[in-house]
Amino acid sequence: QQQVKQSPQSLIVQKGGISIINCAYENTAFDYFPWYQQFPGKGPALLIAIRPDVSEKKEGRFTISFNKSAKQFSLHIMDSQPGDSATYFCAASPGFQKLVFGTGTRLLVSP
Amino acid sequence: DVKVTQSSRYLVKRTGEKVFLECVQDMDHENMFWYRQDPGLGLRLIYFSYDVKMKEKGDIPEGYSVSREKKERFSLILESASTNQTSMYLCASTQTGTGEVETQYFGPGTRLLVL
């Protein structure tokens, strides 16, 4: 019930393409859904986050789509760039400042 | 900018050794977390702390303990290191929000190899 399932495990996208990473959860008590981005040798950093009362949030080239009834959410990266190459983690919060993380997606954007 | 520092980037230890991983944050955050990161498993919570001298078990606390004697410092202790504790260890901190979930700020990680 505390799991967040993330797919795909790895993704290769051409420069300028759209990268899509999907996550699913079971626990309806989750109330906050962030995405973290991690570059090699660095810790993860918050990229974008959404609450379940909205279906979409956009920040620049990054968009979260949220489907509450399906218990799914996804990250879309428009016009993907080589600098976006990183590992992306979805997460969900059961409260008390805790996060449950997905298993991660390694994105490679080819020039 | 929030800064979370971890005492070592790389550590090599022998099976059975006692290992200390240190984490310091400079933003007066109340909450601190220790995760381990393994390929294909993501980040898994080991322990967290809401305040000085307070600690709570996460999802995988077995084989680990923690110490928080000062607000800015959170230590992870491997009482008797084993090879299955070879991993990347990440520390994070966050302030206590007013009902909101706050951003977790991560350190750069410590890659531990247990031989």
Q: How close are the terminal C-alpha atoms of chain A, in Å? A: 40
The pLDDT of residue A49: 95
Report yes or no: A70 and A84 within 8 Å, Cβ to Cβ: no
Measure B111 CA to nearest chain A CA, in Å.
10
The residues, ordered by sequence, that sit 6+ positions from A4 with a Cβ below 8 Å of its Cβ are A23, A24, A25, A90, A91, A92, A100, A101, A102
Evaluate if residue B101 carries a pLDDT over 80.
Answer: no
Nearest neighbour of A89 by CB, restricted to B43, B94, B103 = B43
- Quick check: B48 contacting A, CB < 8 Å? yes
Q: Per-residue pLDDT tens for A33-92? A: 999 999 999 999 999 999 989 999 999 999 999 999 999 999 999 999 999 999 999 999
